[in-house]
Copies of this chain bind each other. A is one copy, B any other.
């Protein structure tokens, strides 16, 4: 199994959710994060002081799937999250050794 972590633009969350849903993915976990990257930040001004804010709001979507699904999931996420402008984000794939569903104690693919 693998965990696919996608860092996306916040307003793309609904599209990504739909896309994953359409693949039959039943669950995902979402975190508000701040991203630093090539996309330039913006200036903020408070009375005298100017600050360059280079951490931008992003959403991290985490979804654990069986390994055979990984490529499909990646394709779907790209299709849904892409705007073509800088800062669209990244996808990271990492290995997952075990999955457990807390309610039932089911393990691994049954638990997804």
Contact = CB atoms under 8 A, between A and B. Distances in A.
- Chain A contact-residue range equals 35 or more
A97 interface: yes
A91 B99 contact: yes
A96 B90 contact: no
A28 B36 contact: yes
A97 B98 contact: no
Given A93-B97, A94-B94, A95-B95, A6 B37 contact: no
18 contacts: A3-B92, A7-B29, A27-B90, A29-B60, A30-B34, A31-B31, A31-B34, A64-B90, A70-B98, A78-B105, A88-B102, A90-B101, A91-B99, A91-B100, A93-B97, A93-B99, A94-B97, A95-B97
